[in-house]
């Protein structure tokens, strides 16, 4: 079964797309937890951090470079947070690797 992100990539469900290239895409979270809350995910379905394999390292590096690029595009020069929920106890609900990019306000720490 396709993940939500695969359905978004295939235009089967709508999303506010902020950025895309041949490796990844960035959309706005449907339930934002900050003024800016983006989801960055690879086109390739990697289920979680634990599922990243040696062949995926180029993709993962690209995600980090893209996070920085998109954060600048969104005006988050003052700072932003990248979150990856890995596994159900951490709150992962979509089994397709994704980075949350949060910003646009002063973010509290610790996060929980």
d(CA 72, CA 55): 28
Active site residue 98: yes
Distance in Å, CB of 6 to ligand 5GP, minimum: 12
Among 30, 51, 57, 64, binds ligand 5GP (CB under 6 A): 30
d(CA 87, CA 105): 27
Distance in Å, CB of 49 to ligand 5GP, minimum: 11
Compute CA distances 42 → 19, 26, 48, 67, 109, whole Å: 12, 9, 11, 12, 28
The residue ranges that bind ligand 5GP (CB under 6 A) are 4, 13, 15, 27-31, 39, 85, 91-94
Catalytic positions, written as ranges: 98
């Amino acid at each position: 079964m396709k993940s939500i992100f695969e359905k978004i990539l295939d235009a089967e469900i709508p999303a506010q797309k902020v950025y895309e290239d041949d490796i990844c895409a960035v959309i706005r979270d449907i339930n934002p937890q900050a003024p800016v809350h983006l989801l960055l995910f690879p086109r390739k379905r990697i289920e979680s951090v634990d599922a990243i394999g040696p062949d995926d390292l180029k993709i993962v590096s690209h995600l980090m470079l893209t996070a920085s690029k998109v954060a600048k595009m969104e005006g988050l020069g003052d700072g932003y947070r990248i979150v990856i929920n890995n596994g159900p106890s951490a709150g992962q609900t979509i089994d397709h690797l994704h980075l949350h990019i949060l910003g646009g306000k002063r973010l509290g720490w610790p996060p929980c």
